[in-house]
Amino acid sequence: MKLEQGQIWKKGDKFLLITTWERLDIEYKEMTDLETREHNPRCQ
């Protein structure tokens, strides 16, 4: 599996968007709705 910046993964009823992908660091946003891109402010 190859991770890339901008990828979206579905986990349960939430979506994870990879916002920053670096060699040893991955940052993501947790969203509840892909259309509005509403995200959980506790996650990056």
Looking at residue 10, its pLDDT comes to 92
pLDDT at 43 over 60: no
Looking at residue 8, its pLDDT comes to 92
Residue given tokens 């599996």 in the structure block = 1
Q: What are phi and psi of 22, to 5 degrees?
A: -130, 175
Q: Spell out the domain ranges in the chain.
A: 8-39
Q: What is the pLDDT of residues 6-37, one digit of tens each?
A: 999 999 989 999 888 888 888 888 888 888 77
pLDDT at 40 over 80: no
Tell which residue, 7, 12, 22, 18, has the closest CA to residue 44: 18
Cα–Cα distance measured from residue 1 to residue 34, given in angstroms and rounded to the nearest whole number? 22
